Amino acid sequence: MSQIVVLKIGGSLGNQTMDVLAHAVRLVLDQQDLPLVVHGGGPRISQALQRANLELPFVQGQRLTTAEAVPIVQRVLEQEISGEIVCELRKRGVLATGLFGSGGLLQAQPLPNMERTAGIAHVHLSVLWPFLSALQAVVITPMAADDLGQVYNVNADTAAAAIAAATSAAKFVLLTDVPGIYADYSHGDMLTDTNSGELQDMLRQGRFAHGMIPKVQAVLSALGSGIPECFVVHGGDSDAVTWALTGEAQVAFKRGTRIRWQSDLHQFEGAGAKKSHA
C-alpha cells in the first residue's frame, strides 16, 4: 500500500535545486509512494515586500505578516513559485500538480501578536485525496484560510509538519540550504543521528536561531504526531537526498541529520547504534 512522503523545499534554494527535487520525487515514486512537496519562498517574498516599501520583522524565525502584505505574499507563493516548481518538475519528466493551501486544504490558527501569520488548526484531507489518485508530485503552497475566508501566511516548515502529521506520512524530509542541524554551527558540529529529547533540550537552551527555530519545532511536532523519522538535508545534495529517502548513499558517511522519537532511539541504541556528531 502506498505511503505519503512529505518533502519541504526551502525558498532560499531557488531553481538551482530543481534537479535534486526531481530526483527526490522520482525516488519516492519508484517506491510506489506518494510525494507531497511543500515549498517556501522567504527571499522572494522579502524582495517583493521591499519593492512595496513594506518591512516586516521576523519573530522566532517566522515573518510577521500584515493584512496589507497578504496579497503580496499570496502572489509570490501561489502565482509565481508554485507554478514555477510544477513547470520545472514537468520539464524534468516528473508529473506534478499544484495545490493552494488557502483553497480549503489548510485551516488557519492565528498566532498571538502576529497579525496575519498563522499556524495550522486543521488539514482538510478531503481536499487532498483527489490529487493522490495518480502517481504524481503534489506541490502545496503554505497559506491557510480561516472560517471567514481570510487568508494567512504560514511558515512552510510548520505547514509541512502539519500535513505530514495529518496524512500519517512515512517520512518527513526538509530540503534546506544547510547540510543539517548543528549543535554548534560556528564549530561545524553537525548532528547526524539524534532524537526528539536532545532537540527539545537544545531548543529550550536557545541553541538555535532564526530560520532553524521553526524547522526544529516542525520536526518535533511531526515526530510527536507519530511520524517515524525526519531528516534535514541540503537541498542541493543529491546524495544526501538519496540517503534520507532510501538509506543509501554514494559515500560511507551520513549526509545530513536524521531525527527519531526518543523511545525509538533507545531501541536502536540497545542494538548497538549510538548518537553521533559529524
CATH number at residue 55: 3.40.1160.10
What is the Cα–Cα distance from 124 to 101, expressed in whole angstroms? Answer: 10
Quote the domain boundaries for residue 217. 4-277
What is the Cα–Cα distance from 38 to 32, expressed in whole angstroms? Answer: 19
- Report which of 234, 236, 260, 237 is spatially closest to residue 249, judged by C-alpha positions: 237
For 5-27, how does the pLDDT look when each residue is reduced to its tens digit (9 = 90+)? 999 998 877 666 899 999 999 99
Q: Put residue 272 in one of left, alpha, beta given phi > 0 → left and psi -120 to 50 → alpha.
A: left
Q: Per-residue pLDDT averaged across 251-266, rounded?
A: 72
User: Total domain count for the chain?
Assistant: 1
> How high is the pLDDT of residue 277?
44
Phi, psi of 154 (to 5 degrees): -130, 135
> How high is the pLDDT of residue 16?
67
Q: Per-residue pLDDT averaged across 52-70, rounded?
A: 93
For 124-162, how does the pLDDT look when each residue is reduced to its tens digit (9 = 90+)? 999 999 998 788 999 999 999 999 999 999 999 999 999
